[in-house]
Amino acid sequence: MSSFSNPILFSKYFNVSPDTLAKAGLIDPFLTVDTQLFIDPILLDKSSNLLISVDAYNQFRTHFENVIRLLIISKKEGDTAWKAAQNLVSLREAPANGLGYGRSDRPGTSRPKELSTIILRTTKEIIELGAKDPEMISLMGFFEENVGPDTISDLTSWIIEPQLAKITNEFCNLHNIPVKTYSPTGIPLPHHTSKDGKERAIILVPTDIVRDLPVANDWAGIQEAAEANAEIRNRVNYLLAGIAKPKVVEIKEAIKSAVLTSADLLQEFINSVKDHTTFYDPNIDALGYYSLKKMLSDNSNVLKSNKKYDLQTDIDSVKQVVYDSIEMFKHHVENGNLWEELWINNKPKKERAAQLIYFAIADGFCKANNIDISPEANMGGGPIDFKYSKGYTTRVLVEMKKSTGTVVHGYETQLEIYKEAARTNYGIFIVMDYGNLGDKLQKILKIKEERIKNNEPASDIIVIDASQKVSASKRNL
């Protein structure tokens, strides 16, 4: 699993102001790691950029009209028409647009052919209802558990690549950013050269066609879209009757069964989805992505650290780096104004916001001391929030939870699974206290105490007061 440190922003690499990209309505992407935002095809015709709302939207529809025509004449899976349709459903990783789940230099990958087969089977089933709206492809995440946001995003990116390339080229020419020929489209694009000497073309993406998760993979979005139509709502409720706590896969199966009963009902569902879909708003920044970029691009940032540590002794020195980075984060949240980046409209932002802002701080400590930090490193037992490592054996894991989340399960079970997978006894559990912590802290402190009594490894617990406060400037008056 790749790790990264000191992520590089497009604006910094090409010496252009982040505000210039913002005014152009474009995302300022990382060049060495992906941001977990995704192009949602449902948003294309809503874009303020005419190249997207008209040209790209029409190209997207035309592309899938061709897929539909091929599936209409296909008699069975694997025949000539089916294979031609499958070739049009490209599931390769998209060009370097800085979006998705990648962590380092985003090498292109291919997804299993079985995934495109699943998409084509559902599309064929929809066609047999009599529906031929090409935007049905946008609904695959509603119906199929294995079709994730990155799949639909990459598929859309490939289709509208000419428009994205043109937007990128025009921006670069306007701001004197060097470009060179990019073979798939023939449109010159900016290129980034990685540490290993590999050169990749960069494509910029408008801010108003991305979401943190496409609505089809967002639980709240699934509920809204399904409940907007009385007939769909009643069918879904009937199919889920008797299931106390239905899983997302069960809900998707119910929605698929409810919607795929008539072409008219499917079309109403498509319209409902479009009505309930909005782009990721930089002003709200629910996940803290824009806050992170601002902090990383600010050379005068007081949150950065150049402190050096003696790392030639044992794991305690690496632990000290981790503790100091957490202490700096804690100080600025509790005593400075950093808590403001964790709230929006008097509501806590998503857990990811605190994780990303903490990473911006921790990255400075690690860069100064040649320590690898991997956000969301998958250690085999699932994705741990952060893994610090110096060499192969010296590892410290950090898990961060909101006070309103699964605090007890996170400490008692999740972190222990990650530690076992990482072959380390050293874990730190951070509780971001936004309020409503209840007796969760007492419970995990008791679990820690019991483990210590039994001579078992017990992860440390750090609580950070993330509640809303009077600004630091007013407190000092």
pLDDT digits (tens, 9 = 90+) for 25-61: 999 988 877 777 889 888 999 999 999 999 999 999 9
Does 463 lie in the same domain as 314?
Answer: yes
pLDDT digits 0-9 by tens, 174-193: 999 999 988 788 999 999 98
Count of domains in the chain?
Answer: 2
Contacts 24+ apart (CB under 8 A), 10-16: 10/98, 10/190, 10/202, 10/204, 11/297, 12/297, 13/192, 14/172, 14/177, 14/178, 14/190, 16/175, 16/177
Residue at a domain's end among 212, 227, 261 = 212
Give domain status of residue 377, yes or no.
yes
Q: Is the pLDDT of residue 379 over 80?
A: no
Q: Answer with the one of 162, 196, 212 that is the final residue of a domain.
A: 212
CA torsion angle 427 433 438 439 (round to 10): 20
CA distances from 260 to 72, 139, 236, 297, 324 (A): 17, 11, 12, 48, 55
Domain end point (choices 187, 212, 237): 212
Nearest residue to 132 via CA among 64, 57, 75: 64
Query: Does residue 97 lie within any of the structural domains?
Result: yes
Question: So what's the pLDDT on residue 312?
Answer: 64
Say whether pLDDT at 245 is over 50.
yes
Q: Count Cβ atoms below 10 Å from residue 176 Cβ, excluding itself.
A: 9
Instruction: Dig out the tokens for 63 from the structure.
Output: 């592309």
Tell me, yes or no, whether 271 lies in a domain.
no
pLDDT in tens, 336-377: 888 988 998 888 988 888 888 888 788 778 877 777 777 654
What residue type is 394 in one-letter code?
A: T
- Rounded to whole angstroms, the Cα distance separating 98 from 96 reads 6
Is the separation of the CB atoms in 37 and 211 below 8 Å?
yes
* Together in a domain, 25 and 154: yes
187 with 304, same domain: the answer is no
Examine the domain organization and report whether 72 and 193 are in the same domain.
yes
Asked if the structure places residue 229 within a domain, the reply is no
Does any domain span residue 221?
no
pLDDT at 136 over 60: yes
Confidence at 89, pLDDT banded by 50, 70, 90: confident
- Provide the pLDDT confidence category of residue 133 given band limits of 50, 70 and 90: confident
Helix (H) or strand (E) holding 377: strand 372-378
> Do residues 311 and 418 both lie within one domain?
yes
Q: Is the C-alpha dihedral spanning 244, 245, 247, 252 positive or negative?
A: positive
DSSP state letter for 136: G
Same domain, 310 and 200: no
Task: Give residues with Cβ within 8 angstroms of 346, minimum separation 6.
Answer: 468
The whole-number average pLDDT for the span 188-210 is 90
Confirm whether 203 is domain-assigned: yes
Residue type, 251: I
Crossing angle of helices 219-227/248-259, nearest 10°? 30
Structural domain containing residue 178 = 10-212
The pLDDT score that the predictor gives to residue 55 is 97
Domain assignment of residue 442, yes or no: yes
Whether 261 maps to a domain, the answer reads no
pLDDT for residue 408: 93
Do 330 and 184 fall within a single domain?
no
CB 393: neighbour CB atoms within 10 A? 9
Q: Which helix (H) or strand (E) holds 428?
A: strand 427-433
CATH of the domain at 423: 3.40.91
Please give the model's pTM, rounded to 2 decimal places.
0.73
What proportion of the chain, given as a percentage, has pLDDT over 90?
A: 32
